[in-house]
Amino acid sequence: MPGEPLDTRTTAVFVGPTEDRESLAIRWLDGHVSTYAPRYLRLQCPCAGCIEEMSGRRLLRPGDVPEDVYIRAIRYVGRYALHFDFSDGHGTGIYPFELLRELCICGEC
Ligand SMILES: [Zn+2]
Ligand SMILES: [Zn+2]
Protein backbone atom coordinates (compact mmCIF):
# COMPACT_ATOMS: atom_id res chain seq x y z
CA MET A 1 0.00 0.00 0.00
CA PRO A 2 1.36 3.43 -0.89
CA GLY A 3 1.40 6.20 1.70
CA GLU A 4 1.40 6.00 5.45
CA PRO A 5 -1.46 4.35 7.28
CA LEU A 6 -3.81 6.85 8.91
CA ASP A 7 -3.83 7.01 12.68
CA THR A 8 -7.56 7.13 13.40
CA ARG A 9 -6.97 8.81 16.77
CA THR A 10 -5.15 11.79 15.33
CA THR A 11 -6.80 12.16 11.93
CA ALA A 12 -9.48 14.86 11.89
CA VAL A 13 -12.52 14.39 9.67
CA PHE A 14 -14.24 17.61 10.76
CA VAL A 15 -12.91 20.87 12.14
CA GLY A 16 -15.36 23.67 12.86
CA PRO A 17 -17.41 25.54 15.41
CA THR A 18 -19.67 23.75 17.87
CA GLU A 19 -23.44 24.24 17.49
CA ASP A 20 -23.46 27.14 19.95
CA ARG A 21 -20.47 28.56 18.04
CA GLU A 22 -18.62 29.15 21.32
CA SER A 23 -16.04 26.40 21.00
CA LEU A 24 -14.08 24.51 18.41
CA ALA A 25 -15.09 20.95 17.60
CA ILE A 26 -12.91 18.29 16.04
CA ARG A 27 -14.33 14.96 14.98
CA TRP A 28 -11.71 12.25 14.67
CA LEU A 29 -11.59 9.30 12.32
CA ASP A 30 -12.11 6.93 15.28
CA GLY A 31 -15.50 8.59 15.89
CA HIS A 32 -14.45 10.60 18.94
CA VAL A 33 -15.48 14.26 19.12
CA SER A 34 -13.38 16.78 21.03
CA THR A 35 -14.48 20.29 21.90
CA TYR A 36 -12.15 23.07 22.93
CA ALA A 37 -12.86 26.45 24.46
CA PRO A 38 -10.89 29.07 22.50
CA ARG A 39 -9.19 30.39 25.65
CA TYR A 40 -8.09 26.91 26.64
CA LEU A 41 -6.46 26.43 23.22
CA ARG A 42 -4.84 29.86 23.45
CA LEU A 43 -3.35 29.00 26.85
CA GLN A 44 -1.94 25.75 25.46
CA CYS A 45 -0.18 27.53 22.59
CA PRO A 46 3.01 25.60 21.82
CA CYS A 47 4.91 28.42 20.09
CA ALA A 48 8.37 29.58 21.18
CA GLY A 49 6.88 32.76 22.64
CA CYS A 50 4.59 30.81 24.96
CA ILE A 51 6.86 27.90 25.87
CA GLU A 52 10.58 28.15 26.50
CA GLU A 53 12.11 25.86 23.91
CA MET A 54 14.94 24.37 25.94
CA SER A 55 13.17 23.74 29.22
CA GLY A 56 9.59 23.36 28.05
CA ARG A 57 8.68 25.90 30.71
CA ARG A 58 5.43 27.76 30.01
CA LEU A 59 6.07 31.48 29.68
CA LEU A 60 2.47 32.40 29.05
CA ARG A 61 0.44 33.12 32.17
CA PRO A 62 -3.34 32.83 32.33
CA GLY A 63 -3.57 36.52 33.22
CA ASP A 64 -1.98 37.35 29.86
CA VAL A 65 -4.97 36.05 27.91
CA PRO A 66 -8.32 37.88 27.84
CA GLU A 67 -11.31 35.90 29.16
CA ASP A 68 -13.25 36.48 25.96
CA VAL A 69 -10.53 35.54 23.48
CA TYR A 70 -11.88 33.85 20.37
CA ILE A 71 -10.57 32.26 17.20
CA ARG A 72 -10.67 34.57 14.22
CA ALA A 73 -9.45 32.09 11.64
CA ILE A 74 -8.34 28.48 11.33
CA ARG A 75 -5.91 27.24 8.72
CA TYR A 76 -4.62 23.79 7.96
CA VAL A 77 -0.85 23.40 8.10
CA GLY A 78 -0.26 20.50 5.77
CA ARG A 79 -2.21 17.46 6.90
CA TYR A 80 -0.81 17.32 10.37
CA ALA A 81 -1.58 20.53 12.15
CA LEU A 82 -3.86 23.52 12.56
CA HIS A 83 -3.00 27.17 12.86
CA PHE A 84 -5.27 29.51 14.84
CA ASP A 85 -5.48 33.24 14.53
CA PHE A 86 -6.64 34.41 17.96
CA SER A 87 -8.52 37.63 18.67
CA ASP A 88 -5.80 38.82 21.05
CA GLY A 89 -3.51 39.14 18.03
CA HIS A 90 -1.55 35.97 18.74
CA GLY A 91 -1.06 33.69 15.77
CA THR A 92 2.32 32.00 15.92
CA GLY A 93 1.23 28.65 17.35
CA ILE A 94 1.06 25.52 15.21
CA TYR A 95 -1.07 22.81 16.83
CA PRO A 96 -0.33 19.32 15.52
CA PHE A 97 -3.40 17.04 15.54
CA GLU A 98 -1.51 14.77 17.90
CA LEU A 99 -1.27 17.61 20.42
CA LEU A 100 -4.93 18.52 19.92
CA ARG A 101 -5.98 14.98 20.63
CA GLU A 102 -3.87 15.03 23.79
CA LEU A 103 -5.53 18.26 24.83
CA CYS A 104 -9.01 16.72 24.69
CA ILE A 105 -10.53 17.32 28.11
CA CYS A 106 -13.44 14.90 27.92
CA GLY A 107 -13.79 12.21 30.57
CA GLU A 108 -12.79 9.44 28.20
CA CYS A 109 -9.43 10.83 27.17
ZN1 LIG B 1 2.15 31.18 21.38
ZN1 LIG C 1 -11.82 13.02 24.41
Question: What is the Å distance from ligand 1's center to 36 Cα?
Answer: 17
Handedness of CA 84, 88, 93, 95 (dihedral sign): negative
CA proximity to 85, closest of 34, 29, 24: 24
pLDDT at 26 over 60: yes
> With 60 as the cut, is the pLDDT of residue 1 above it?
no
Which domains are present in the chain? 12-102 (3.30.2020.30)
Q: Among all ligands shown, which has an atom nearest to the Cα of 59?
A: 1
- Cα(40) to centroid(ligand 1), Å: 12
For 95-104, what is each residue's pLDDT tens digit?
999 999 999 9
Ligand nearest to the CA of 105: 2
pLDDT digits (tens, 9 = 90+) for 35-93: 999 999 999 999 999 999 999 999 999 999 999 999 999 999 998 999 999 999 999 99
**φ, ψ (nearest 5 deg) of residue 17:** -70, 150
